[in-house]
């Protein structure tokens, strides 16, 4: 194992080994794209900003580096990763076929929070796709990360930068709280603009199917393709494929998703209840334990703040977080899907 602390190109990155031979590193935070690129070219893992959530990135074509993503996140290797590209111009290097409707979707939404699942070329390691013949691809919409991707000339594999099963990070501080000492660098792009993961679309016989609801509302996709879309991942109790686990996105505190949060007030002591609602407040519960996601009931603002609110309340040592169901349209559908997973028990 090289000693990175003596490499001037990687100044500030120290590796040491703890009593159980665990690898520890010093995590730096900054906006230095060259530094991030240096770590990535050396096969290290770096947290990167995107418009959706922070990603835990590594060179997608370097299997050792990709393995580090799985170990850092403690994520099973049966769960495939998204590769991030600087633009659609390079996509031909990695996929064999782009159906016309996929081209239409790319033109409408890239750079942006759309991930498409397409047949892969052999240059994409099987480790990235968990052995599947298709690879998930997206062009993220964040200036720092687009700049980084252009400099690297290699795609970045990146899942959300949270330990497996936990809430996705939407600020550099969330990443640091969860992964400090495990990665050398967090590229600081500020708070994520969307705050919800990308919408995932796959194709069967050239027809699009939504595999994960996300930051692009279903209605917007349907407008572009001109048909109603099938959603194959709403049933959160039944995993439909690798990674579609029922208990994703969970805080450590128990979380209940309710039509009306008052229904559970009698079951807990009021000073140990946290509440997330779209706009309602409750005088029985301490104001500091409540988050109104958007007082004007704007679902984009609510989406941007949802994970932030979950991180915030999860750090308060409460007995329960009660979340009031959002309106079941547009981004409200995406948020209800995530919250249902967050509420599912790890059985």
Which of 27, 50, 154, 178 is close enough to bind ligand TXA by CB under 6 A? 50
Our CB check for ligand TXA shows the closer of 10 and 82 to be: 82
Cβ atoms within 10 A of the Cβ of 126, count?
14
The alpha carbon torsion through 46, 51, 53, 56 (nearest 10 deg) reads -20
Burial pattern 145-173, b for ≥16 Cβ within 10 A else e, equals bbebbeebebbbbbbbbbeebbbbbbbbe
Q: Considering CB distances under 5 to 8 angstroms, the limit depending on partner class, which of ligand TXA, Mg ion, none binds residue 45?
A: none
Considering the complex, state which of residue 198 and residue 290 has its C-beta at the smaller distance from Mg ion: 198
Q: Using CB under 6 A as the criterion, what x/- string covers residues 1-30 for binding ligand TXA?
A: ------------------------------
Spell out the residues 6+ positions from residue 129 whose beta carbon is closer than 8 angstroms to its own. Answer: 80, 81, 120, 135, 136
CB closer to ligand TXA out of 81 and 322: 81
Only one residue has tokens 């959002």, namely 326
Which part of the chain contacts ligand TXA (CB under 6 A), choosing from 1-9, 158-166, 283-291, 313-321? 158-166
CB 183 within 8 A of CB 45: yes
Return the residue of 115, 129, 154, 160 that touches Mg ion, per CB under 5 A: 160
Which CB atom, from 101 or from 175, has the smaller least distance to ligand TXA? Answer: 175
Give the range of 13-21, 89-97, 153-161, 251-259 binding ligand TXA by CB under 6 A: 153-161
Q: Does 52 bind ligand TXA (CB under 6 A)?
A: yes
Q: How many CA atoms lie within 13 A of 52 on its CB side?
A: 28
Residues 6+ apart with CB under 8 A from 12: 26, 28, 35, 184
Tell me how many residues contact Mg ion (CB under 5 A): 1
For residue 332, the minimal CB distance to ligand TXA (Å) is 18
97-136 residues near ligand TXA, rule: CB under 6 A = 113, 115, 117, 129, 132, 134-136
Closest CA to 312 of 251, 250, 247, 249: 251
Q: 179: buried, middle or exposed (CB in 10 Å: 19+, 13-18, 0-12)?
A: buried
Binding site for ligand TXA (CB under 6 A): 50, 52-53, 55, 79-82, 113, 115, 117, 129, 132, 134-136, 140, 158-160, 197-198, 200, 211, 241-244
Q: Give residues in contact with Mg ion (CB under 5 A).
A: 160
């Amino acid at each position: 194992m090289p000693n990175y602390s003596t490499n001037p190109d990687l100044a500030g990155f120290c590796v040491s080994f703890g009593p159980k031979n665990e690898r520890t590193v010093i995590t730096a935070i900054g906006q230095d794209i060259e530094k991030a690129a240096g770590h990535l070219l050396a096969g290290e893992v770096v947290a990167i900003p995107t418009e959706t959530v922070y990603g835990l990135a590594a060179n997608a074509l370097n299997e050792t580096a990709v393995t580090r993503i799985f170990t850092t996140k403690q994520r099973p290797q049966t769960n495939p990763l998204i590769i991030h590209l600087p633009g659609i111009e390079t996509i031909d290097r990695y996929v064999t076929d782009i159906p016309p409707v996929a081209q239409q979707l790319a033109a409408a939404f890239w750079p942006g929070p759309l991930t498409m699942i397409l047949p892969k070329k052999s240059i994409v390691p099987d480790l990235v796709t968990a052995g599947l013949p298709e690879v998930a691809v997206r062009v993220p919409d964040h200036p720092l990360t687009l700049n980084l991707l252009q400099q690297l000339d290699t795609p970045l594999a990146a899942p959300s930068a949270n330990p497996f099963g936990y809430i996705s990070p939407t600020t550099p501080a969330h990443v640091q709280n969860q992964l400090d000492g495990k990665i050398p660098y967090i590229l600081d792009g500020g708070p994520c603009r969307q705050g919800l993961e990308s919408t995932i679309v796959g194709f069967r016989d050239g027809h699009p199917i939504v595999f994960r609801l996300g930051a692009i509302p279903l209605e917007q996709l349907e407008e572009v393709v001109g048909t109603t879309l099938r959603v194959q991942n709403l049933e959160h109790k039944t995993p439909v494929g690798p990674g579609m686990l029922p208990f994703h996105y969970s805080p450590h505190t128990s979380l209940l998703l309710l039509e009306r949060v008052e229904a559970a007030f009698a079951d807990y002591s009021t000073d140990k209840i946290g509440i997330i609602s779209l706009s309602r407040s409750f005088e029985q519960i301490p104001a500091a334990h409540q988050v109104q996601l958007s007082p004007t009931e704007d679902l984009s603002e609510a989406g941007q703040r949802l994970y932030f609110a979950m991180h915030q309340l999860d750090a308060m040592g409460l007995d329960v977080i009660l979340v009031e169901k959002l309106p079941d349209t547009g981004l409200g559908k995406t948020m209800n899907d995530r919250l249902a997973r967050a509420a599912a028990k790890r059985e």
